[in-house]
Amino acid sequence: MPVMEECPRAIVLVEGISDRIALDAVAEQRGRDLAAEGVSVVPIGGAQAIGRFLAEFGPAGRNLRLAGLCDAGEERWFRRALERAGLGERLDRAAMERLGFYVCDENLEAELIRALGPAGVEKVVEAEGDLETFRMFQRQPAWRGRSIESQLRRWMHNGDRHLRYPPLLVAALAPGRFPRPLEGVLAHV
């Protein structure tokens, strides 16, 4: 379990570090200082760990205000853990959202790519000096003919790009264009 320096009033549980980076970037763009507000964004190291963190911070533990973010492929883990923690029964996505837990349709990168659009993402990639690297990736036989959205999602998962690009994409978004799951989690806390 992570060691908290101060006792926060709210915890946002996210699958990994890239989710935390993206949420921090959206909060900053919205003029929010989560730490000053007593909100901690906690990467849990994968969706399978959600139950342990709900036990630590939820009603049976520290009883803090909770929110969370996961990818669509991990929604079932979050749903089951929320139910086991006594936060609801037979939860669907709408019920999870009322609890403050949002699902990224397909994943965080897909949400950011949709929000900015492929052309906007390519502008960011070009500004970072990575456009030729992306073009080489697109020419690989396994990726030729696939949608640019799927190419961008996969390319961003190579190396440190999944950590480097979320704040850059968030910074390129116009106010009011942030992905719904990120906005929803932040609104809940």
Residue 14 pLDDT > 50: yes
The correct CATH number of 10-108+176-188 out of 1.10.287, 2.60.40, 3.40.50, 3.30.420 is 3.40.50
d(CA 41, CA 188): 13
In the predicted structure, residue 185 carries a pLDDT above the cut 70: yes
Instruction: Compute the CA torsion angle 143, 144, 145, 148 (nearest 10 deg).
Output: 60
What token pair was written down for 151? 């190419």
pLDDT score recorded for residue 164: 95
What is the predicted pLDDT for the residue at 6?
66
Burial 75-102 (b: 16+ CB within 10 A, else e): bebbbebbeebebeeebeeebbbebbbb
Parse the chain into domains and list their residue ranges. Answer: 10-108+176-188, 110-172
User: What does the alpha-carbon distance between residue 23 and residue 186 come to, in Å, rounded to a whole number?
Assistant: 8
pLDDT at 3 over 50: no
**pLDDT for position 159:** 86
pLDDT for the residue numbered 5: 46
128-176 confidence digits (pLDDT tens): 999 999 999 999 999 999 999 999 999 998 889 999 999 999 999 988 8
Q: How open is the CA angle 29-30-32, to the nearest 5 degrees?
A: 105
pLDDT at residue number 171:
95
What is the amino acid identity at position 88? G
Angstrom distance (rounded) from CA 99 to CA 46 = 20
Contact call for residues 64 and 37 (beta carbons, < 8 A): no
Q: How confident is the model at residue 40 (pLDDT cuts 50, 70, 90)?
A: very high
pLDDT of 88 reads: 92
184 pLDDT tier (thresholds 50, 70, 90): very high
Q: Which two tokens stand for residue 183?
A: 């906005």
Q: According to the model, what pLDDT value does residue 110 have?
A: 95
Q: Is the pTM here over 0.85, yes or no?
A: yes
Q: Is the pLDDT of residue 127 over 50?
A: yes
Q: Over 80: is that where the pLDDT of 2 sits?
A: no
